[in-house]
Amino acid sequence: MLRFLVSLATYNERENLPLITKEIFEFAPDVDILVIDDNSPDGTGDWVAEQMKTEPRLKLLRRSGKLGLGTATLAAMHYAVENHYDFLLNMDADLSHPPRYLPAIRAKAEGNNNDHGFDVVIGSRYVQGGGVEGWPFYRQLMSRCINLYAKFFLGLKTKDNSGAFRCYRVELLKKLDVTKIISKGYSFQEEILYRLKKLNATFVEVPIIFVDRRFGSSKINRKETLNALWILFRIGIFGR
């Protein structure tokens, strides 16, 4: 049986985590969930530690502070490799990625008797059937522009390159040279697709409806956005 690890990077997601973990186990009861918590002052990590006493499918990686979304995802990738999972399925912890899409994403990754499955499956807002709920127009426009920017500079063919709802084949992750990855924040989402494309990964997009977070506030800001644009430009022009 193929082993799936779901990763959730958290910082102050104490209100959302009980809801998202319950829904994940509802739609994918056989997965393990790894929470990578950046020392959340609201007690997110403490909640996970308490739940682990009775829930063996729940795992926790505590970090010293806010070290960036990209490094959190890399930590999850390392954990998946070291613990011999077949697939790593990354999601946002704020319920913007509805777990009801997990079966469709997993099916594309697993394949069937005549199909090996895909190396990278993207839960996509920008293919037919996908969309966004709860975002103002300016935020939707910004997201579209960043995706076009990434496609242009990185040569990506996929339509949703900035979203984090993805499934990765762990065998492919083993081949990554992580020393070349320079993104620590939100540009990681585009950069990792670029690095996997260089490894001849196969990609597919599954439509999802992205829903704005229920509780808490977004962690992205103007400085983070500008830094992400610079990093993508640097990678696209110089390859590093």
Query: What is the per-residue pLDDT across 73-89, written as a single tens digit (0 to 9) for each?
Result: 999 999 999 999 999 99
Rounded Cα–Cα distance for residues 185 and 227 (Å) = 9
Q: Which amino acid is at 142?
A: M
Q: Which residue has the higher pLDDT, 181 or 229?
A: 181
Looking at 23-32, 139-148, 174-183, which range is the least confident one? 139-148
Could you report the per-residue pLDDT of 129-165, keeping only the tens digit for each? 999 998 888 788 888 888 888 888 888 999 999 999 9
pLDDT band at residue 41 using 50, 70 and 90 as cut-offs = very high
Residue 187: pLDDT band (50, 70, 90) is confident
Cα separation, 233 vs 157, in Å, equals 17
Q: What is the pLDDT of residue 122?
A: 98
Round to whole Å and give the CA distance between 162 and 225.
Answer: 11
Q: What is the DSSP letter of 231?
A: H
Q: pLDDT class for 177, splitting at 50, 70, 90?
A: very high
Q: Which residues of 26-42 are buried (b: 16+ CB within 10 A; e: fewer)?
A: eebeebbbbbbbbebee
How far CA 52 is from CA of 33, 43, 79, in Å, comes to 11, 14, 17
Bridge partners (DSSP) listed for residue 59: 34
Residues in the chain: 240
Domain with 64, as residue range(s), is 4-238
For the chain, the domain total comes to 1
SS3 state of residue 107: helix
CATH of the domain at 11: 3.90.550.10
